[in-house]
Amino acid sequence: MRLLVCGGAGFIGSAFVRRMLAKHADWEIAVFDKLTYAGNLDNLKTVEADSRYSFVRGDICDREAVGGAIEGAGGIDAIVNFAAETHVDRSIDSPEDFLKTDILGTHTLLEVVRERGISRMVQVSTDEVYGSIDEGSFCETDRISASSPYSASKAGGDLQVLAYHTTFGTPALITRGSNTYGPYQYPEKLIPLFVTNALEGGQLPLYGDGMNVRDWLHADDHADGIEAALLSGRPGEVYNIGGGNERTNREITEIILDELGLSWDTTVKQVTDRPGHDRRYSISCEKAKTELGWQPQVDFEAGLRDTIRWYRDNEWWWHKIKHGTAEFADWRARWYETRG
Ligand code: NAD
Ligand code: DAU
């Protein structure tokens, strides 16, 4: 199997690359990544000497660059697309790049697949496209109802995939994963932000009442779900990939504080809520379990505590992200300093 993994220098893409190279001796992986603020070659350090791995810097909106990467790899069997702008808060702050990468970039990859007769594409999407649900769980045939510019852009990418399959027979399919946690996640997202802030003696900015619910999935389980869809999924289909671990943000915060031996009163600061903040995400993963034979393996509390310890023990990885350039400080100032 020869793969082009777009967005493979990000959090879940790099987990997928590391894990697939470890699991499959005969796979070759070319990573194609723009290296935005969220892309980081440190995430791929453990595979950089592996002759089955190569890296090309480029933008998925640039059709010629994608084609060049495919030719450079000597042809490919499939594209797995992780490349996206992924942070909901940044999509509220400045949505344009989300529309470009998440919609136009996906469209560009579909055109490349069509033009070159590539036999498979997996579009990595999100449970956020369904929006919030008070009770029960969304299944793949439910209506999409995106709330943020991020989820609307991901939904636009999903609709392109389904339309290309219907119109041109493009052999593409979609996975919709739930909130993912693990090592190497850019420290703008809830878990790495709270853990690294806590480790630096800073505050944990909990939005609103902290009772929003997310379904947490370990990055290794997410990678395995995408692998199962790549190997056994049907073109034109959608597969939900969730951890089955619904927790409020308060519960997540309590585990972080407990693991690090800190108290709520001195660290947590309740701040103005995110606009359009979805209350609860929940997906049914019966289709992935029965059709793909996939199910999550990582125990949530053990996985979260391991993850917290990984950030504690790998300050080299996150310290330069938070303090090595002005990028993170600018974001923090723009977003958090206005939230009373
Ligand atoms: P991330 O932000 O950590 O990484 C995104 C990667 O895409 C980065 O390496 C970045 O450089 C690259 N990229 C961005 N724009 C690009 C472009 N135009 N061309 C090429 N590369 C580009 O993201 P993540 O959290 O690893 O998410 C990966 C995918 O999984 C995304 O599609 C996201 O929507 C989806 N997803 C994420 C989660 C989650 O909880 N993190 C859950 C479900 C689905
Ligand atoms: O559901 C899948 C999605 O999960 C992915 O598609 C997205 O790419 C990924 O970023 C994530 O989106 P969320 O908005 O759920 O993740 P985030 O880590 O930003 O927020 C998780 C919850 O924590 C959410 O209810 C908002 C809250 N939160 C977040 C931050 C950054 C806070 O209370 N304070 C914060 O500072």
Q: 337: which 2 tokens?
A: 């300093």
Ligand 1 nearest-atom number relative to CA 81:
32
- pLDDT (tens digit per residue) in 315-332: 999 999 999 999 999 999
pLDDT at 109 over 80: yes
Give the model's pLDDT for residue 51: 98
- pLDDT (tens digit per residue) in 58-106: 999 999 999 999 999 999 999 999 999 999 999 999 999 999 999 999 9
The residues lining ligand 1, judged by C-beta closer than 6 Å to any ligand atom, are 6-7, 9-13, 33-36, 38-39, 59-61, 82-86, 101, 105, 124, 126, 154, 177, 179-180, 186
* 3 state SS of 153: helix
**Kind of pairing, strands 213-218 and 246-248?**
antiparallel
Give the model's pLDDT for residue 170: 98
Give the model's pLDDT for residue 338: 85
- pLDDT (tens digit per residue) in 262-301: 999 999 999 999 999 999 999 999 999 999 999 999 999 9
pLDDT at 209 over 80: yes
Section 143-169 average pLDDT: 98
| Angle between helix 106-116 and helix 149-168 axes, rounded to 10 deg | 20
pLDDT band at 245 (very low <50, low <70, confident <90, very high): very high
Could you tell which of 36, 86, 91 is best to mutate to test the pocket of ligand 1, judged by most ligand atoms within 8 Å of the CB? Answer: 86
- pLDDT (tens digit per residue) in 5-39: 999 999 999 999 999 999 999 999 999 999 999 99
Could you tell which of 4, 5, 6, 11 is best to mutate to test the pocket of ligand 1, judged by most ligand atoms within 8 Å of the CB? Answer: 11
Could you tell which of 154, 214, 279 is best to mutate to test the pocket of ligand 2, judged by most ligand atoms within 8 Å of the CB? Answer: 214
* 3 state SS of 179: strand
Catalogue the long-range contacts made by 21-27 (C-beta closer than 8 Å, 24 or more residues apart).
Answer: 21/47, 21/50, 21/52, 21/53, 23/227, 26/1, 27/1, 27/2, 27/3, 27/52
- pLDDT (tens digit per residue) in 178-189: 999 999 999 999
Active site residue 127: yes
Give the model's pLDDT for residue 339: 84
Section 132-156 average pLDDT: 98
Active site residue 315: no
Ligand 1 nearest-atom number relative to CA 181:
40
CA of 190 from ligand 2 middle (Å) equals 6
2-179+219-241, superfamily in CATH? NAD(P)-binding Rossmann-like Domain (3.40.50.720)
pLDDT at 340 over 90: no
Please give the Cα distance from 192 to 337 (Å, whole number).
Answer: 19
Give the model's pLDDT for residue 256: 98
Smallest-distance ligand from the CA of 106: 1
Catalytic one of 150, 164, 181, 239: 150
Beta strands in the chain (DSSP E): 2-6, 28-33, 53-57, 78-81, 121-126, 172-177, 179-181, 204-207, 213-218, 238-241, 246-248, 268-271
